[in-house]
Structure formats: structure tokens, C-alpha cells
């Protein structure tokens, strides 16, 4: 199957497409009744991630409904700590939890066949590439080392990642070891995803915004640069979307330093600045997910502004963060129509 | 009492002072054993805020220990919703809670002598100005309308203020009414604080960082501009430090639009950008509070970098956010010594 008709790949190659291709972060999610049904059948959240039957089904659901230009593998950034035996659990209403790691634990980390643990993920990707329409881009993904490390150190999510920031100040060598270890394992993971059929991959650095400049450079830029270089050394030309949420004015150097193909933009990134970033390459984003919950004029104005400001360069239309369970599926249909110029 | 010897006032007047004056956000707080003692005696957290005896005592404690260049009134940004009968409570480990407000509730808001409810705060300030050393600047403060509104709408703290963002999209008129109402009441509150002895005031917009550019302009810049203009119309030359946490690259226009005397910087603001901001006027910040918890080299390097980069212009040394309970009081002493050049 040639990928010449995949619009997102064209944008990642630097082309401007009008109207732009569109997908939504967390598009396979709780706002869809069919997702909630499959989720209930699957067992635990990790059971859903590791069951190719169920994971393929929920990945395809939003494609069937909306014909998004990309399907993104249904999985979670925390399958990497799970593969590292950190005892990861997802409890409704409590978010993810795992055994917090300490200095000794970090130096004892080893990749004892972690990717084997993730075999169902690769099976899911292989089946997806077969089942998806030819024009739909298949995206793989993983968490960035910093963001994954914040959960591994705290043992759970926190507001401002104070535990990981403190750990990094106290144990700089152990922390660097952890980031490098995660970067290398995650690069292997992305290579395997590409080999299983992913056309491109996205790296989620959801907690990039809580760091000082020097720490952003050391904890976000450098590990992601290492990952991308490692993937491209083995799979030349591999396309990577890097999403450093909250990185703000540091996104310009972030692109330069990481050599990401495209930069994901959260909803706080001013569009004038986004246009600057777009001069250096493709961007993806950045509608406030709350505008989708609000719907109506609030959503339409937000969509139109993005199209007006960023539609004249390489753009993948997306939200600035994952879609939330409160969103109405009908409103999502209206979003897609408006982006595609059907209802504007 | 002349304030000519108050270093922070000199900096707010645009002077460069070397070494710079220093105080810490939340310097009267749980990291101090004497605070924990007074806190336990006072009853509830709001009892502590409204008891001049106890509030004066905890405000003075860090001045006695460290001789900070400013004492900041011990209070909370949520005394404004409390004065508006929103049933505010502080429960250990749960953060603040109050009755969430709706559209009808907003249009029904009225200032029925809210400032009378806050009389103990003004009494605290009057006593503080008498008890403080002449060279110590006395700071009053309040929350910015956006940040106070986020709590009033959600009824509690949230990670990304999605409830308030959604409310603002759904009910733009009611939301604007709320912000204007809070701006006017808060301006009255700051005028009364100045009349009670505050030499300068700080406006805390702790949740400025979760907004798109247009919302930042409408919800943060405009209400704070309105407040400052209202205070200065009545108290010409009033000095205001505005702290819009997470506002990043928008801080440059934030200063221009609000006409704040000084701009507070959180720890994610790059120092090169802070130097740009300093060309337009005084800045305050911005050590990562986790560096104070870590202590040692991590703290020293952070302090030295701020002094090196920002010490040659008008600077008030501070943290980039409040000091946390984990900080060791001895480490805080080391911080003050290092800033003052005693131990560098």
C-alpha cells in the first residue's frame, strides 16, 4: 500500500494542504458511547491496551464515525513503566498509580525483554494497518522520558511534578540515567511500532511546562533528540511529531534541538508565535478542548482563527490537548465539518 | 515614618540595588515550626487569617528569623469569596472548597459591605506597620479576578481550570460580569490595605498559565489593568507587583497592558527573557522552590544564576512560587545569606 494519498504524511513532508487534515488527541475515548461499551467489556484499562481485538476496535471507532485523517494506536504512555515491572494500575477517578522508583531502583533498571511484554501493541498496529482505509495515516506514540519519569518517581500524577523536579535536583546522576534509559527503550519501542505499520509517531511530553529553561533543555530537549536520532539511524526519514505541552516560548529551540518533523501546540500557544514556528516546519494543534465541550460559536470562532492564522502553511488540525469525556459526539462531527469547509 | 530606607520601594521606583532585597512568597508558612505552633492555636485556617493577634504573629515570624526585606500580610486570596458568602472552607489535605457559583448567582452578586467582613485584615496591617522595623516593606495582596473566579466556579482547585474555561465559553456575559465585579471589589480591598499601612501590594494570578492568548488578554490583562487604574485613581503612585504565573511569553504585553509597577516571574521564565522584561521595569523572582528543598549546590547555582543575570537591574529576589512545607528553615537562612553576598 503506497502512502502517497495520506494527507498527514504530505503535511509532515512540508506540504500545505487546504483544508488541512484533522485528527484529535484522545479521539478514541470516553466521549464515544461505543468506546465506553468496548471499555466495559475489556476488563481493566491495561487489559484494553493489551488486547488487540479491543484496542483495534476502539482505535477504529472514531475513524468510522468521523473519517479522521489519522488513527492513533490505542494505548497509554505508561505501558513503558508497566513493561519495566513498576506495577502500573489505572483506577477510575484516581488516575494511574505505580510503585515509586528510587535512586537504587533506577540504577537497577534493565530492559529484560520489555518489548516482548508490548507484543500485543505491535499486533494491534499490524491489524490496524490492514483494516484502515488506505488514505488514513496510522500514528504510533509513546511518552517522552521526562513525562514518563515524573510518574515513575512520584508513583502517580501530580499538579506540578514537584517530586520529579526535586528528585532531579537531589540525584542528578540517577535522574540522567533514568532519562537516558527511557529514551533508549522508547526509541526501540518506536522503531518496533514503525515496523509494525505506524506511518509516523508522536512523542507526548505532557509535563514539559513545569520546568526551568535549563531543566527543559536537559530533561526534554536532549532525551527527545536522542530518541529521534536513534529512530532515524535505524529507520531513515522516520516522521516524528513532538508535543511538549506548556513549553511556550521554548518551542522554537525545542524543534531545532530535537529535529522533530512537526511540533504539537497546546491551546496556550499564541497563533502569531505558532506562525513563527510554522516557518521552520509543520505544526499541529491547537484548539482548546473546552471549546469543543462548549460547542457553538465558541468552537466555531476557535476553529476559524486557527484555519485563518495557520491554514496557509503546513498544518495538522488538532486540539491543544486530549478531547474530554464531556464532549458531545455531535459537536465533534460539527468540528470535522467546519475544518473541512463543509459547514463554514 | 518615612519609607526612604525601604529597599523594595526603591526597587519598585526603578532603582538597582546590589545585593537585591529579598522576600519569599509564602514565607510565613508550614516550613517554620513557630508557624505550625501558632496555626495549631488559632483554630481554622480562616480563623488565623481573621485574628489580628495570630496573623500579626505569623507575619512577623519570618522577619524575626531572616530579616526579609518585606513582610507580606498573612491572609489568603479566597477571603474575597468568603466576604461574598460563598461558604469558603479549608480542609487539611483537600485544599480550599466553597459553594460553586452559577450564572444566576453571578448576576445576583452584590458587595453588601464585604470590606467590613475583612476589617480584621486591615487591623492586622495597622498593627504590622507599627511592629515592623522601619526598613521592612509591608506588602498587602489579593488574588487576581481570573484566579479567584476559577475557584468560585469550580468550587475547589483543579489542575487546569477546565470548569472556569468552559464556563467562560458558555456564559461569556456572566463571566465578564464576575471578573469586573471581582476587579472592582478587589481594587477597593487594595485601597483599604494601602490606607491601613501597606507600602505596596501584590496581585496573584496563579492560574494565568492555562489560558489561550485571547482569554489571557480578556480574563487576566483587562481586569488587572482595571484594578490597578482604579487603585491609582484613588491612591496616586500606588505600587503594584503583578504575578501572572505561567504567562510565559505573554508577560511582555501583560506589563504594558496592566501598567503593573513590577512583574513577578515564575521559575519557568527563561532568564534571557526576564532580562528583556527588566528593560521595561522591575522584576521579582524566580528561584524554583524545589531548589530550596534540595538545598546545597542545586540552590546555590540557582541563586547565583538569577543574581548574575538579573542583579544588574531592578530586582526583588524571590522564589518562582510559594515556599513549600518540605523546606528546611536552615536552608532558607543559607538562601538569604547567599543572596546578600554573605556566603557567596
Q: Which residue of B has its CA nearest to A172?
A: B298
Residue B147 included in any domain: yes
- Cβ distance of A170 and B212 shorter than 8 Å: no
Chain A residues within 8 A of B246 when measuring between CB atoms: 209, 246
Q: Per-residue confidence at B343, pLDDT binned at 50, 70, 90?
A: low
Query: ipTM of the predicted structure?
Result: 0.94
Tens of pLDDT, residues B207-230: 999 999 999 999 999 999 999 999
pLDDT for res A164: 98
pLDDT of amino acid B226: 98
pLDDT per position as a tens digit, B63-92: 999 999 999 999 999 999 999 999 999 987
Q: Cβ contacts (< 8 Å) between A211 and chain B: which residues?
A: 268
Question: pTM here?
Answer: 0.96
**Residue partners of A197: CB distance under 8 A and separation at least 6:** A125, A126, A128, A129, A138
Q: What is the mean pLDDT of residues B48-53?
A: 97
Q: Has residue A2 been placed in a domain?
A: no
**Residue B105: pLDDT above 90?**
yes
Q: Distance between CA A309 and CA A275 in Å, rounded?
A: 7
Do the domain assignments include residue B344? no
Interface test with A, best of B103, B169, B294 (most A CBs within 10 A): B169
Question: Would you state the pLDDT for residue B160?
Answer: 93
Q: Confidence band (pLDDT; 50, 70, 90) for B1?
A: very low
* Percentage of residues in chain B having pLDDT higher than 90: 94
pLDDT of residue A330: 98
Q: Which residue has the higher pLDDT, B2 or B79?
A: B79
Contact A171, A103 (CB under 8 A): yes
pLDDT of residue A4: 56
Using an 8 Å CB-CB cutoff, list chain A residues near B288. Answer: 165, 169, 212
Across the range B263-276, mean pLDDT stands at: 98
Q: Chain B closest CA to A266's CA: distance in Å?
A: 9
What pLDDT shows up at residue A1?
45
Q: Would you state the pLDDT for residue B304?
A: 98
User: Best residue in B93, B158, B166, B269 to probe A by mutation, most A CBs within 10 Å?
Assistant: B166
Question: What's the domain range around B119?
Answer: 7-339
Tens-place pLDDT, residues A51-105 = 999 999 999 999 999 999 999 999 999 999 999 999 999 987 788 999 999 999 9
The verdict on residue A265 lying in a domain is yes
Distance from CA of A268 to the nearest CA of B (A): 4
Task: Please give the pLDDT value at position B344.
Answer: 58
- Structural domains counted in chain A: 1
pLDDT of B265 higher than 90: yes
Residue A37 lies in a domain: yes
Give per-residue pLDDT as tens, A111-148.
888 899 999 999 999 999 999 999 999 999 999 999 99
The reply to whether A1 falls in a domain is: no
Q: Would you state the pLDDT for residue B303?
A: 98
Give residues with Cβ within 8 angstroms of B23, minimum separation 6: B8, B68, B69, B70, B71, B72, B137, B139, B316, B318
Q: Is residue B2 part of a domain?
A: no
Question: For residue B293, which residues of chain A lie inside 8 Å, CB to CB?
Answer: 166, 169
Q: What is the CATH number of the domain that holds B28?
A: 3.20.20.210
Q: Which parts of chain A register pLDDT below 70?
A: 1-4, 343-344
- Does residue B132 belong to any structural domain of this protein? yes
Amino acid at each position: 500500500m503506497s502512502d502517497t494519498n495520506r494527507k498527514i504524511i504530505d503535511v509532515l513532508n512540508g506540504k500545505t494542504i487546504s483544508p488541512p487534515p484533522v485528527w484529535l488527541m484522545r479521539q478514541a475515548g470516553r466521549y464515544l458511547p461505543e468506546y465506553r461499551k468496548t471499555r466495559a467489556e475489556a476488563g481493566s484499562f491495561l487489559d484494553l491496551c493489551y488486547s488487540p481485538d479491543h484496542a483495534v476496535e476502539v482505535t477504529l471507532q472514531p475513524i468510522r464515525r468521523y473519517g479522521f485523517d489519522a488513527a492513533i494506536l490505542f494505548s497509554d504512555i505508561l505501558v513503558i513503566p508497566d513493561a519495566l515491572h513498576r506495577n502500573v494500575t489505572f483506577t477510575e477517578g484516581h488516575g494511574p498509580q505505580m510503585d515509586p522508583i528510587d535512586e537504587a531502583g533506577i540504577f537497577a533498571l534493565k530492559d529484560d525483554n520489555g518489548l516482548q511484554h508490548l507484543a500485543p501493541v505491535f499486533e494491534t498496529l499490524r491489524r490496524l494497518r490492514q483494516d484502515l482505509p488506505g488514505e488514513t495515516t496510522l500514528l504510533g506514540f509513546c511518552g517522552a522520558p521526562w513525562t514518563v519519569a515524573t510518574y515513575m518517581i512520584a508513583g502517580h500524577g501530580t499538579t506540578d511534578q514537584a517530586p520529579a523536579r526535586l528528585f532531579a535536583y537531589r540525584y542528578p546522576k540517577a535522574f540522567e540515567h533514568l532519562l537516558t534509559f527511557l529514551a533508549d527503550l522508547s526509541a526501540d519501542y518506536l522503531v518496533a511500532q514503525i515496523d509494525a505499520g505506524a506511518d509516523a509517531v508522536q512523542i507526548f511530553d505532557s509535563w514539559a511546562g513545569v520546568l526551568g529553561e535549563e531543566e527543559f533543555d536537559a530533561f526534554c530537549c536532549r532525551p527527545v533528540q536522542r530518541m529521534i536520532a536513534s529512530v532515524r539511524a535505524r529507520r531513515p526519514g522516520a516522521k516524528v511529531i513532538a508535543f511538549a505541552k506548556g513549553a511556550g516560548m521554548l518551542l522554537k529551540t525545542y524543534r531545532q534541538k530535537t529535529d522533530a518533523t512537526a511540533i504539537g501546540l497546546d491551546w496556550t500557544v499564541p497563533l502569531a508565535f505558532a506562525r513563527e514556528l510554522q516557518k521552520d516546519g509543520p505544526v499541529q494543534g491547537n484548539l482548546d478542548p473546552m471549546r469543543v465541550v462548549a460547542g457553538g460559536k465558541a468552537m466555531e470562532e476557535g476553529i476559524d482563527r486557527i484555519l485563518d492564522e495557520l491554514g496557509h502553511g503546513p498544518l495538522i488540525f488538532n486540539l491543544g490537548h486530549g478531547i474530554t469525556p464531556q464532549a458531545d459526539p455531535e459537536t465533534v462531527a460539527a468540528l470535522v465539518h467546519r475544518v473541512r469547509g463543509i459547514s463554514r
